Structure 1
Amino acid sequence: MSFTLATWNINSVRLRSPLVQKFLIDHAPDVLCLQECKSPVDKIPLADFAALGYGHMVARGQKGYNGVAILSRLPIEDAGHIDWCQKGDARHVAAKLSNGVTVHNCYVPAGGDIPDRTLNDKFGHKLDYVEEMRTLFRDSRPEKAILVGDLNIAPREDDVWNHKALLKVVSHTPVEVEAFEAAREAGGWVDVTRQDIPQGQLYSWWSYRSPDWDAADKGRRLDHIWASADIGNAGHSSTVLRHVRGWEQPSDHAPVLASFDL
Structure 2
Amino acid sequence: MKRTHLPLNGLRVLDAAARHLSFTRAADELAVTPAAVGQQIRALEDTLGVVLFRRTAKGLELTPEGEAGLDALRAGFLQFEESVRAMQAGQSSKSLTIAAPRDFTAKWLAARLADYGRSDPEIRFTLIASEGDLDFTEANLDLAIRLAEGPGENEGAKLLDGRFVTVAAPRDAADGRIAWPGCPADEDSPALRVGDAGLAIDAAANGFGRTCVPELLANADIASGRVVALGETRPSPLAYWLIAPLPQWRQKKVKALVEALTN
Counting helix residues as a fraction of each chain, which structure ranks higher? 2
Structure with greater Cα Rg: 2
Q: Do Structure 1 and Structure 2 share a fold, with TM-score over 0.5?
A: no
TM-score relative to the length of structure 2: 0.17
